[in-house]
């Protein structure tokens, strides 16, 4: 009778430890990072000169920070809402082949570029970032000296970190469980042999 009670207590302890160990092991599993948005939208207003609502020369010259750096991920679909704040003609172009040419010879086959515009009424130009990670320039084909900025393409989502898995941390609960189980089996066998010697 005492042997049966000892075995049942040992089994109960093993089950309780197993449930506790399993619950903590769930917290050690790697988390899956959230998917990043595949679409990026931005607004660029053309200002070749300081006039009217243009406080500075440059893209978004109507603000205090003209020619902002644009950062996207390779493969993103970029939508640029464009308008002219100075009523002059403008054309947005990303120099994807890094030839520095302020012409539309590679537009839009190599260098993503919008149509020519001069209206204050906004329109949207959309393109897919198909060129490799790196730092490129974007500019106005008509006013490349004053309306230019950096276009940065990264290979991982902006603000993300690579997933690092602690393999030892994943195994630790199972190693602990196996150690406790072996110890309980040893204690149970010790008590069973002891009881057998008494009889």
52-76, pLDDT tens digit by residue?
A: 899 999 999 999 999 999 999 999 9
DSSP classification of residue 2 = H
pLDDT at 193 over 70: yes
**pLDDT score for 140:** 95
Per-residue pLDDT, 12: 61
Give residues with Cβ within 8 angstroms of 11, minimum separation 6: none
Q: Which tokens belong to 74?
A: 């390779």
pLDDT in tens, 73-98: 999 999 999 999 999 999 999 999 99
By C-alpha distance, which of 173, 107, 172 is closest to 141? Answer: 107
Give the tokens for residue 193: 């042999």
Chain segment 140-192, per-residue pLDDT in tens: 999 999 999 999 999 865 555 555 556 666 677 777 777 877 877 877 777 77
pLDDT at res. 13: 65
pLDDT band at 31 (very low <50, low <70, confident <90, very high): low
Among 149, 163, 130, 156, which Cα is nearest to 73's? Answer: 156
d(CA 61, CA 113): 20
Q: Is the pLDDT of residue 39 over 50?
A: yes
pTM of the full structure: 0.62
In angstroms, what is the C-alpha Rg of the chain? Answer: 33
95-140 pLDDT per residue, tens: 999 998 877 788 888 999 999 999 999 999 999 999 999 999 999 9
Q: Report whether pLDDT(20) > 60.
A: no
């Amino acid at each position: 009778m005492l042997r049966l009670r000892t075995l049942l207590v040992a089994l109960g302890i093993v089950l309780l430890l197993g449930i506790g160990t399993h619950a903590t092991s769930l917290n050690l599993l790697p988390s899956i990072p959230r998917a990043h948005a595949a679409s990026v939208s931005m607004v660029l207003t053309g200002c070749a000169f300081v006039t009217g609502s243009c406080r500075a020369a440059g893209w978004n010259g109507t603000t205090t920070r003209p020619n902002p750096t644009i950062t996207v991920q390779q493969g993103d679909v970029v939508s640029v809402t464009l308008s002219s704040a100075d009523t002059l003609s403008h054309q947005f172009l990303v120099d994807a082949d890094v030839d520095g040419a302020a012409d539309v010879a590679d537009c839009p086959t190599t260098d993503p570029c919008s149509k020519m515009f001069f209206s204050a009424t906004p329109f949207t130009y959309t393109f897919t970032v198909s060129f490799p990670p790196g730092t490129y320039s974007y500019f106005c084909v008509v006013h490349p000296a004053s309306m230019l900025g950096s276009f940065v393409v990264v290979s991982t989502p902006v603000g993300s970190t690579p997933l690092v898995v602690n393999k030892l941390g994943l195994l630790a609960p199972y190693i602990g469980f196996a150690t406790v189980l072996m110890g309980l089996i040893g204690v149970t066998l010790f008590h069973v042999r002891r009881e057998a010697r008494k009889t």
